[in-house]
Structure formats: C-alpha cells, structure tokens
Amino acid sequence: MKSAWVERDAQVTVAHYAKAGIAPDLALRVYTTRLLGRDPKLVLHGGGNTSVKMRLRDLNGDDTEVLCVKGSGWDMGNIEPAGLPAVRLENLRKLRMRDALSDEDMVKVQRANLIDPTSPNPSVETLLHTFLPHTFIDHTHSTAVLGIVDQPNSRDLCEEIYNGRMGFVRYVMPGFGLAKEAGEVFDKNPKVEGLILDKHGIFTFGDDARQAYERMIDMVTLAEERLRKNRKSVFVTAQLPQSAGALSEIAPILRGAVALPDAKIEGAWKRLVFDFRTSDAIRNFVDGADVQRYARVGVITPDHTIRTKNWPMIVPAPDGGKLADFKQAAKIAAGEFIDHYKAYFARNNDRAGGTKTMLDPAPRVILVPGLGLFGLGRSKKAAKVAADLAEAAVEGITDAEAIGRFSPIGEEDMFDMEYWSLEQAKLGGAKEPPLAGQIAVITGGAGAIGFATAKAFAAAGAEVALLDLDGDAAQDKAKAIDGAALGLPCDVTDDASVRAAFDMIAETFGGVDIVVSNAGGAWQGRIGEVNDETLRKSFELNFFSHQRVAQNAVRIMLAQGTGGCLLFNTSKQAINPGPNFGPYGLPKAATLFLARQYALDYGADGIRANAVNADRIRSGLLNEEMIASRAQARGLSEKDYMSGNLLQREVTADDVAQAFLHQALALKTTADVTTVDGGNIAAALR
C-alpha cells in the first residue's frame, strides 16, 4: 500500500479552509481522513474514525483544549470540518478514573461536553482517542490487518509482523471498556506507533497528520506483506452444474424466497432489493467445497454485523435447466436461515436477560455457487453497502485461510454487537417510506407523466427504472431522481427490447414489483377515413405494448411469488371518445379491458391490475401546439381549454402520478379505473 499524501494538495486544503477560519491542524485532519476513507481496503461505509487534539474558543470565548473526533453518521471519504465535532478534553480524561461507565451514560457525557451543542454525536470510540496522548489518531478496519487478527494465533502473528512497534489489545467491545484497555496497553509501552485491536482493526497515531496517516499505510503494508508470505492455496472447488442459468432468472427466485409477509398488513410483503457481485475472487470463494464452514463462521470485523448479519445465506448451486428445483431449494435455504437466526436470537436474548427485540431475520448476503453473491437491503443503497462489505469479507476470509484459519469473534460477542444500542443508532430510527424495498418500472419514463410518476414512486421509497425509446433522455431523468434510479432504452413495440429491459432491471435490482405502463402516442383521424396502417400503428403502441410490458412483468412477479401491481395509463378516450380521435381511443379502450383481464386472471397470484384515465395533461401527446389548436377550435382561451372540467382546474402530470401511487398502495384494490380529469361526467364510469 502506498501513501496518497500529496504536499501540494494538503496545502491547498489548508488554504481553502483558512478562508472559513478553520485552523491548519483541523484542515489537515480533514485531508488525511478523506485519504483513508476513500480507500475501500481501509474503510467502508461509515467505518473507522479519526481525531485531532487542539485548542478552540468555546461559546463563552474561553480558550479550551478539545478533541475533534469523527461524528456518527459521517463518512470519512467526504468528511467536512463539521463532521469532526469538538469535545472538551479535560472532562473526558477524568472518566478514565472510573471503574465502569454505561454506553448510554458515555454518550450523554460526550454530548454534554460538546463545544457546539448542535454537533452530531461524537464517535462511540471517542474515549479511546481521549485516553491516548497523541495529537493525531487514525482508526481503520484494514482488510489486510483483519486477515491477520482473525486468526487463532493473532497475537503471535502481530508480534512477528510488528516486532514491538504496535501494541496488541485483546478483543473488547467498543466503548468505555475498550478505551480503558487500549490506554493501559499503551501505558505499558509508550513508544509504540499504534495499536492492533484483535478481531477489530488498527489504530495509528502521530504528532502531525502526515505521520499518523503514513504510519497507518506502513503498518497495513506490513500486514499485506505477511499475507503474501507462505501463502497456501485455498478453497477447493466443489462439483457444480455446467450452467447456473441467467442472472435475470436466478435473482427474482431468490428475492421471492427471502421476502417475508408483513404481519401487520394483509397482502403486504417485506421485500429486499438486491445488488449482485461476481469476480474470480468471489467465484473462488462461493464455489468452494467447504464454503459452509468458512463463510458461516462470522464477520471479519464487528462493525459489519449490523449491515450484513453474522453469516450469509448459502443456496445450492442452481442448474440453469432445472430452475423449478432451484426455486424449491432456495425456499428451503431461506427457511433454514430464518429458523437459524431466530434460534440464535432466542438463546442469546435469554443470556442478555430477555430485553432485546428481534430484528428482521432475513439474510443480507446470499452466496450462490456457480454465480457470485448478492447484497440485500431495504433500498439499493443498503444493498450496495451489504455487497461491498461481503466483498471485503471474501478478501479478508480468503487471506486468513491462506495463512492459517479464519477465526473471528464468537457468537455471543457477535450478538452483543448486533444488538448494541449504540450500533443500532447508526441505522437510524426513521419510519420507512411506504414503498421501501419495492421496485417500480415506468415506461415512457422520460415524458411528463412518466417522469412525474417516477419521482412520486421514488419519493415513496421505491427503486425506480425509467424505460423510454430515447435511452439518453431516460438516463438523464433517472440521474435527476437519485443515484440508484435506472434509465434504460426500450422500444415497447419490440418483444426483444422489452424483454432485455426487464431482464436488466431484474439483474440490477433483483426483480419487479410495480409496473406503470405509460408509453403511448396520439394518432388522429375520422375513423371511417383512417387507413389500416395508421390504426395498426396506434394499436401496436397503445395496446400491444401494454400487453408486452405486462407479460414481462408477470413473468418476473410469478418467479418471485410475492404478488405485484400492474398499472395502465388508458386515458379518458377509453370511456369518452373524442371526435376524430378514434385511432387513439380504440386501442386505449382495449387496454382498459386488458387491465381488467389481468386482474381476473392473476388475482389469485396476488397481482393487482388497475388503470388511470386522465385527460388534458400537458405532455408529449398534448403539446403546446395541440393545446392552441384545440382551444382555438372551441373558441376558448388556452387556460379555459385546459381547465374545462367541473372543478375548473387544470390537471397536471403530478396529479396523474399521485393517482398511480395511490393505486400502488391500495393493496385490496384491483380492476379499478381511476379518473383524473377534474370532472367530466361523460367520462365517469359510474
């Protein structure tokens, strides 16, 4: 591992923050924290922490010695000075004289000593930074170091590697106890350059930012060099089927297997979003004949347990020609995982006094021999975090097995960490949005109604995929929603294009739960004078495309076995045809009945089908030119034309989006047609 310190960049950082009155030491603390946080071999997703001791003026104007330490919730890779809240050092140092301090009291004391009371909570390892005398202190969960400390003889290995340059701290759960233990280890040998925390990670320190940072690089490099020494081959490959099958077929099967019925809401499911990873290293790991042993021992560092659970779900290798058998095997594996987790919780909760409430028992990592691994989460972001940590585990466990035998913390310690109140606080207690864990597909996604619908569903917690004939526009709209949204080119009049798009969505997110079939085009003409070519083109886009989209959605929904929701944009023309709009209205009327047919045929599978009839929505179909033309033909102003309904209000794309969202949330509504037109008696269904 090489140092990423660049002197010019460091000075630019100092100069930049000086304009805001930030002292050089704090600016350099930000600089090196980012260097550490941007290297995934050192830090992943909020792990690790850093600190600097300095003097600041408090709110009373008094010069005060403080510790600026990483705040909970901040990511080291993009930290700002505000992410290093300052706490009074003198008061915190006094805590070392205590024999015990509860986690809750520790947090209270730390908050009580914040210089700025609006700052985030200081790191749970603040006291460890406090009890060490150094100006700069760095802490990471280096994958290489974990490969060393996750061994039965970790102390001996560290003495061999570091030859007295690093202190060795036995495993203690983070908090006051670990801080005191680390302080005592340092006091026995104040010349050490850092501390190795058994089964946990590494601390280094120094008099300046560069020294602490480059000591981290040096010590991690020594671990890497040891891992390359006397390394043995690992993971003999198991005998596997010749072909695992397509990822787009495997993912929905697994996603359905791990979904849990919502005990509070009939018809609802607790679904998970997937993130797939594969590589030579991952395949070497998951394809191993002994994978059940080394993959299920535990986590490479306790910090991972709240995001990945303590072991992955492992399924039998799929055979692409026998997916029905694999579906049954996946259900059995999921049931065994959940039963195992419940038993683990029960026996450890008894030990803890029965005070804990069990978390969601579904897995957060799935290993699939012959294919790769999936990270799982209630959002794509959470799934990516789980997948990143799973990849780090693959590397760490592989390293450990290559020089010895992977031996992390035991079950009781893992439970104490997983159900530690301070770790749980990292995940936040905010109420989940209503569509969390669900995947929504919107065709015509770059248009006015499609984009408004995609935004509404994303705001409700769904992961969204926008399909549009203009793939670049779909991608631009997806980027405008959030980093997880997917924009894809798709010609809904082409079978292969639609199937390819749905397969890509299944590969990206794991499956499909909601489809808004929205793409359409408005052909006009007096029906007795319209040629067959025009009518067939309109039917192809305004009817057959909806059937094509629905078929592909149902294909995936049935593989998942957790129901789903089909939503169709049918327009008021389906009920109330307008003059010279027959080529548009006729296929729309057929699509309305298509929705009802899906409701009839797939209701027993939990798949709902509903339609929205909207009128006079500014969009690609009803553009400014058409609005002007139709208003003039009726002798109305454009405003009066657009608000020509019972409520005398213009209806917008956002109104249509909210109607689709309502239908998606109405778990006991199917074969419904919702009218969104401001009131048009001629188009009313009842």
Last residue within a domain, chosen from 198, 227, 256:
227
* Residue 36 in domain: yes
381 and 348 together in one domain: yes
Q: How far apart are CA 196 and CA 218, in angstroms?
A: 13
Last residue within a domain, chosen from 383, 402, 426:
426
User: Average pLDDT over the chain, rounded to whole?
Assistant: 94
155 and 26 together in one domain: yes
Residue 392: predicted pLDDT: 96
Q: Which amino acid is at 113?
A: N
Closest CA relative to residue 406, chosen from 290, 305, 239: 290
* Residue 547 in domain: yes
* Residue 431 in domain: no
Q: Give the residue numbers spanning the domain of 472.
A: 439-683
Last residue within a domain, chosen from 182, 199, 227:
227
* Residue 239 in domain: no
Q: How far apart are CA 450 and CA 548, in angstroms?
A: 18
* Residue 368 in domain: yes
371 and 471 together in one domain: no
Whether the Cβ atoms of residue 448 and residue 473 lie closer than 8 Å to each other: no
* Residue 432 in domain: no
Q: Judge whether residue 620 has pLDDT over 90.
A: no
* Residue 236 in domain: no
664 and 549 together in one domain: yes
400 and 453 together in one domain: no
Residue 429: predicted pLDDT: 58
Name, in order, each residue with C-beta under 8 angstroms of 374's C-beta and a sequence gap of 6 or more.
Answer: 251, 254, 274, 275, 276, 277, 365, 366, 368, 383, 387, 510
What is the tens place of the pLDDT at every residue in 34-89?
Answer: 999 999 999 988 789 999 999 999 999 999 999 999 998 899 999 999 999 999 99
| Range 197-202 average pLDDT | 97
What is the tens place of the pLDDT at every residue in 527-571?
Answer: 999 999 999 999 999 999 999 999 999 999 999 999 999 999 998
Residue 264: predicted pLDDT: 85
Express as a percent the part of the chain with pLDDT over 70: 99
Residue 489: predicted pLDDT: 98
Residue 49: predicted pLDDT: 96
* Residue 166 in domain: yes
What is the tens place of the pLDDT at every residue in 325-366?
Answer: 999 999 999 999 999 999 999 999 999 999 888 999 999 999
335 and 447 together in one domain: no
What is the tens place of the pLDDT at every residue in 217-269?
Answer: 999 999 999 999 989 888 999 999 989 999 999 999 999 999 999 888 898 99
Domain count, the chain: 3
Task: Kindly report the CATH number assigned to the domain that includes residue 52.
Answer: 3.40.225.10
604 and 672 together in one domain: yes
449 and 417 together in one domain: no
Task: Kindly report the CATH number assigned to the domain that includes residue 498.
Answer: 3.40.50.720
562 and 669 together in one domain: yes
402 and 465 together in one domain: no
CA distance readout (Å), 119 to 56, 116, 492: 15, 6, 51
Whether the Cβ atoms of residue 562 and residue 507 lie closer than 8 Å to each other: no
Confidence class of residue 107 from pLDDT cuts 50, 70 and 90? Answer: very high
Q: How far apart are CA 205 and CA 213, in angstroms?
A: 8
479 and 568 together in one domain: yes
Task: Kindly report the CATH number assigned to the domain that includes residue 274.
Answer: 3.40.225
62 and 175 together in one domain: yes
Q: What is the pTM of this model?
A: 0.94
